Structure 1
Amino acid sequence: MSKRPLNVGLVGGGRGAFIVHPHQRAINMDGTRRVTAGALFPDPKIALEEAANWAYPIRGYGSYDEMIAANASLPDEEKLDYILIVTPNHVHFDPAMKALKAGIPVFCEKPLCLNLKEANALVKEVRKRNIPFGVAHTYLGHWTTRLSRFIVRSGLIGEVRWVDSYYLQGWLATKLEATGQQQASWRVDPKRAGVSGCGGDIGTHALMHLRYVTGLEVTHVSAQLETFVEGRPLDDHFTVYCRLNNGGKALVRASQICIGHKNDLGILIAGTKGTVEWRQEEPEKLVVYLNGQPDRVYWRGAVTPGDGFLPKDMPADLLAEVTIPSGHPEGFHDAFARLHRCFEADVRAWKEGKPFQCDGSKYANVEDGWMGIAFLETCVKSSKNKGAWTAMPKKI
């Protein structure tokens, strides 16, 4: 018999929250996972109303405390197999920690939490319990991101010299938060967003993409966190020059005041033998530039091992991740689905008492989340010191 679908509980997602909808579509995409419960809003009455009005039947709870506590007494086939946290940043730590202590795996939106104190506690709890924990860095889920990781980490473009990892948007070019717009309001509020606005919201994506593809770590930063919209308490423009642990350099940059840019995340990696370039607004395509050779353009689903650049013995699991033929575009929801699919595999293995990965190779883990928070705090420190070179803290 086939295995039952995993049960997923939502923390947050009510009253027009954007990010919950790509997640819930991705969760349901394969038929092997399903959203079955939710604590969807801080106000218990609204939380129950939102659950009652969900697109399909789910169990509604007035709070995530109730949802986590109730889980223990449910029949095994109804118990939550993992929770998904899609709240503003200040409500990441508490439900994550409570779920972990209740023995429930966690998939959490980025950034991991508000500060290093919270990040340290989450890392220690995950290690103590040896339980799956994922951080939703969406763009790691594009298959071409996986291909670029293979190319760079296999040394096919030589030693990495320079990385430009960026995420540009224009939606906060005006004081949108003054209109009461929900998505804008919490992102510019230090109490809800943390120490950095633009950096925390999208700069962490640029950092994670650099680390995931190259396998390199940032050792020192020289940062400028700037606010162009008058009266905004957090940065809306984030520029960080970085030293890498292989001696290379990088630029991690993000902006939310660049009119005309919609969701422009991209990366350029220059090595001693060639350069790789990728943009998430054209996620089916990866370009490789080699000295004295024509540019090579690789499309998801149309990659041939042993083509004169790619080796014949490419990883079978990488090639097997393609779900539909080339020319039938994957997109944003597919990237989310690939992350949940990989997290599901680890949750199932964990539940069966088998070894599981959760090593950052398929999705960002709690240590990756920790690194994002460490990066933000170091960048804020550097920016306040006029961009002085500042060392990253040691990993715990």
Structure 2
Amino acid sequence: MKNQVRMGMVGGGAGSFIADIHRMAARLDKRIKLVAGCFSRDHQKTLQLGQELGLAKKRCYATYQEMLAAELALPAEERIEFVSIVTPNHLHFPIAKAALAAGFHVLSDKPATHSLEQALELQLLLRQSRLHYGLTHTYAAYPLVRQARFMIAQGELGAIRRISVSYPQGWLASSEDSSASNQALWRTDPAQAGESGCFADIGTHAFHLLEYMTGLQVESIAADLCAQVAGRALDDDGAALLRLQGGAKATLTASQTCAGLGNNLQISIYGAHASLSWQQEQPNELWLRRRGQPKQLYTAGVDCRYLAPEVLAMCRTPAGHPEGYIEAFANLYRDFAAVLRAEKSADPLFGIEAAVRGMAFIRAAVLSSQQNANWVPISSLLPAGA
């Protein structure tokens, strides 16, 4: 396909679940082509994976620094245009900073950085450039999440009063799970994951989903984080009370120790006139409930003409053919490609603003928990204009 956006990837070697999802999503709509990468610290492993992916050997690099320098030396019509970062958290910032310095756009896994301070520095770097930055908050790219956001913005629920969002998982429910995979090893290690474990890993998804769907910002947080499994240095479970703009209240819970659960992210939003509920494990169903009326089910599909036009554009199959996680990821990659081709404006709720707010949420939750669940205003952690 002509005019494909050329992508380089850092991280995501053999055995990386999320990197395979990124690569599938990037190529689903044929808007993006992976042309270069540094997938592993072991160059031989990078070369082997690059061969499997059909990349030229010379564009499978030993380090990300080598990749950026070598790609920059290529003619403009051949070199990569953006870098996809799919590494552990502690590497997100140095890679993004180096890519921006070399003139490449960045699409990064979340959380954006290892610390709030790094996120704020990254924000300054982006303001000084004309480059684009995207963050893969995947769940907000499901069609019916976008439909809920549209309906709330249109006032169908009335003033938002209460939100309940939870993300329970069970994959770290025992002490043996901490060393069962590379993904578990780095997520339970403060040097790689940062100051939080569970709340940084999946709590940020719940936080972003809440703000994205309602259009309201969280003003302050009172949190109680803990390690349910003895010996862990970071939280694997937590709960928080939230105060939002306009007086709305919310509860947010996240846990990775709920034995038997997969990815049971769910959110309910209650307004003065109606409420909406959505679950990630049934992503093609959005329930609308009005007082004194039968509940109403919205479903996703290219033939569901009651959906907003921008929501229909995100659907790929007729109703009854479920679309899910990979397609939601693909919506992010397709949108990013459209931004780079100047076909649409970047959505700030998937950019550096969301990145900074996500890191501020983590910091506020950690501080609140350390202070016996005292209220911590998110604005108190951010400089003016952040």
Which bin holds the TM-score, normalised by the shorter protein?
Answer: over 0.9
Deviation at 1:180, TM superposition (A): 4.8
Aligned to 2:347: 359
Residue 325 of structure 1: SS of its match in structure 2?
coil
Deviation at 1:390, TM superposition (A): 1.1
Q: Which residues of 2 match residues 315-326 of structure 1 at below 5 A?
A: 315-326=308-319
Aligned to 1:309: none
- CA contact under 8 A between 2:221 and 2:365: conserved in structure 1? yes
Deviation at 1:178, TM superposition (A): 4.9
Using the size of structure 1 for normalisation, the TM-score is 0.92
- CA contact under 8 A between 2:285 and 2:298: conserved in structure 1? yes
Aligned to 2:320: 327
Separation (CA, whole Å) in 2 of partners of 1:347 and 1:190: 34
Change in Cα spacing, 1:72 to 1:304, as seen in structure 2 (3 Å) is: closer
Separation (CA, whole Å) in 1 of partners of 2:180 and 2:145: 36
1:118 aligns with 2:118: yes
Q: Which residues of 2 match residues 289-368 of structure 1 at below 5 A?
A: 289-301=289-301, 303-305=304-306, 315-349=308-342, 356-360=344-348, 364-368=350-354
- CA contact under 8 A between 2:172 and 2:178: conserved in structure 1? no
Separation (CA, whole Å) in 1 of partners of 2:82 and 2:253: 33
Aligned to 1:56: 54
Deviation at 1:98, TM superposition (A): 0.8
Deviation at 1:369, TM superposition (A): 0.8
1:33 aligns with 2:32: yes
- CA contact under 8 A between 2:197 and 2:235: conserved in structure 1? yes
Aligned to 1:310: none
Count of residues paired in the alignment? 379
- CA contact under 8 A between 1:138 and 1:336: conserved in structure 2? yes
Residue 369 of structure 1: SS of its match in structure 2?
helix
Aligned to 2:74: 74
Deviation at 1:177, TM superposition (A): 4.7
- CA contact under 8 A between 1:176 and 1:184: conserved in structure 2? no
Deviation at 1:380, TM superposition (A): 0.5
Gaps of 5+ in 2: none
- CA contact under 8 A between 1:47 and 1:63: conserved in structure 2? no
Deviation at 1:304, TM superposition (A): 4.1
Separation (CA, whole Å) in 1 of partners of 2:238 and 2:336: 31
Counterpart of 2:377, as a letter, is A
Residue 35 of structure 1: SS of its match in structure 2?
strand
- CA contact under 8 A between 1:162 and 1:248: conserved in structure 2? yes
CA deviation profile, 1:101-155 (whole Å, cap 9, x unmatched): 1111100000000111100111111121132110011111110111011011211
Aligned to 1:311: none
Aligned to 2:364: 378
Counterpart of 1:369, as a letter, is A
Residue 67 of structure 2: SS of its match in structure 1?
helix
- CA contact under 8 A between 1:72 and 1:79: conserved in structure 2? yes
What's the Cα RMSD here?
1.6
Aligned to 2:259: 259
Q: Which residues of 2 match residues 211-222 of structure 1 at below 5 A?
A: 211-222=211-222
CA deviation profile, 1:292-329 (whole Å, cap 9, x unmatched): 11100000025444xxxxxxxx7533333322211111
Aligned to 2:167: 167
Change in Cα spacing, 1:113 to 1:104, as seen in structure 2 (3 Å) is: same
Separation (CA, whole Å) in 2 of partners of 1:235 and 1:142: 28
Residue 241 of structure 2: SS of its match in structure 1?
strand
Separation (CA, whole Å) in 2 of partners of 1:82 and 1:174: 39
Separation (CA, whole Å) in 1 of partners of 2:194 and 2:177: 16
Aligned to 1:21: 20
Change in Cα spacing, 1:295 to 1:28, as seen in structure 2 (3 Å) is: same
Separation (CA, whole Å) in 1 of partners of 2:45 and 2:70: 19
Identity of counterpart residues, as a percentage?
Answer: 38
Aligned to 1:11: 10
Gaps of 5+ in 1: 306-313
Residue 319 of structure 2: SS of its match in structure 1?
coil
Separation (CA, whole Å) in 2 of partners of 1:346 and 1:162: 34
Using the size of structure 2 for normalisation, the TM-score is 0.94
Counterpart of 1:357, as a letter, is S
Deviation at 1:365, TM superposition (A): 0.8
Separation (CA, whole Å) in 1 of partners of 2:316 and 2:164: 30
